[in-house]
Structures are given as structure tokens and as C-alpha cells.
Structure 1
Amino acid sequence: IILFEGSSNLDYRELPGVSKAIARIITIGAVLAWVMGALAMYFILDLPLSISFVLGGLFIVTGPTVIQPLLKQAKVKNSVNSILKWESIILDPVGPLFALFAFYVFQMIDRGFGLGYFMEYILGFAVAFVLGFGASYLFRWLIKWDFVPQNLM
């Protein structure tokens, strides 16, 4: 909940001028930072490849709690402010998802690519998706019908 909470503070009116930059940062930039960081840890720190990729996923997270105070102190243009705010909030949950993906991929490689283990992973992903979607739908319904007090939203 904490990882995804920041997205409730995003203002979609900021997107028209900066959407292309945000899309590039959270897709190409995030993947490049993950892979390059992992390779740097592997070659420079001599960590195992599996640990490097898991840590690389965690290290791409900047988080709004780090970026927002810096943006308040630095006087940057509104477009740069918007880009960095969106990047910090969106990559906050993406980094741990990269780390989990790497963990499971290396776990599958270690155990062998058996169909049973692969299906277990797919089933776990499907259950997590259904639970997450169901919880978000329930939360939206609770807000719509005013079951959640305004001060808790």
C-alpha cells in the first residue's frame, strides 16, 4: 500500500507537456539503469549475477520521500519538477517488481525450467493480480459510496 500510495497525489493535468519524457524515463531509462547497475555490481564489486540483478532493481528506486524535499529546495522549471515527481512516484513500485522478477528468474534457472515450477509462478502471479485488482475495485467502491472518511483518503 505504501509503494502505490504516492500515485494518488499525481496530477494528470501535468502530463500533456511532459508525457514523452516521463514514458522514456520509466521504461527505457528504468531498464537501462537496472541492467547497467546490475552489471556494474557484477563486474566491479564481483557480486554474483543473481544478487546483482536483484539489488539493481532495488537501486533504481528514488522514491517521492527523497525527490519531493529536493525539489522543494531546488528551483527548477515546472516541467522538470513534474518529470522528476512522476518518475519518483512511478518507479517506487517498479524497482521492487524488477527485483522480484530477477529473483524468480534466477530461482527458475537454479531449479531448472520445469513446467511445474513455471506454472506455480504463473498461478502466483495470477492470484496476486486478482487480489490486487479486487482490492483496488473494493477501495474505489468504498470511496464512491462514502464509506471511507475524507480525512483517511
Structure 2
Amino acid sequence: MKKLLIRFVIPITMISFLGGTKWWYVDVIDGTDGIMHGFPLIYQSWGFHTSLSNQYFFLEFLFDVLCYFVFWTFVFYLIKKIFKTIKTKKLISIFLYTIAGIILMLQMLFVVDPTNIFKIRRGFDIEVKETGWNFFWQHDQRPEKNNDN
């Protein structure tokens, strides 16, 4: 199982976590509305101090990564239980790590911005208006506001 964790679970966790995520269109209590990211918890928000910054919440981020890791470990555990043996090809592992590394580098271009803020936890309340899923190459767009008067 240790080989499966190193060769498959870790890169697939990185690819699934960084490659696609849930967006949340929210109203911040005593603030403005906007889009936040993360699943199952919100770990990234827009910055309140400047328009091109982001806020990252460490504990929520860590919990999300742990959830993805546990999920993929469980999936590979079940596959191993069903098929008894899984052949781990080094070429497939190298390919998965390459894809995970490319996605990680692209994501890091946005994270290393000096105007970003890193916090231990999200310290403000929100009201969720709408949610959805997107991939890292898709641009976030605000949902259409419904003007029913």
C-alpha cells in the first residue's frame, strides 16, 4: 500500500485538489459579495484590502487537502482489495507527478503575489448565494443577479 500512496495517491490528490474546485458566490456579513473557492471548506477568498489580492486560510486548506488524500487512499484501498494486486508502473507515476507539478506551478503563480494575505482561519461570516464547480483553466464569472422586483 505504501507504493500505491507514493506512486498514485499523492499525485492524484494534487491533481484533483488543484485541478478542479468548488466556487461559492457569497455575501460577506458587513461586507461585499464575491466568489470564494474550496471544497469541502472555503480556503480562498478575494482580498478585502485591494482588488487583485486573495486571502488564503491555512486550517481550511489543510482540512481540504486531507479530505482529498483520505478519499483517494480509500479508493485505492478498495481497488487493491478487489483486484488483490495492482501493478505500479513507474512511467505512469512519472506522468502523474509531471501533470501534478505543472498544475502546482501554474497555481503558485497566483499564490506568491505579495499582496496576498495568509491567515490561520477565516474570521468572518458569510451567506452563500450560489455554488458551482470549475477547473483551474476556467475564468470565474459572477452569477447573473436576479432582479425580481
Q: Same fold (TM over 0.5)?
A: no
Which one has a larger percent strand, Structure 1 or Structure 2? 2
Which one has a larger percent helix, Structure 1 or Structure 2? 1
Q: Which has the higher contact order (CA 8 A, sep 6+)?
A: 2
Using the size of structure 1 for normalisation, the TM-score is 0.31
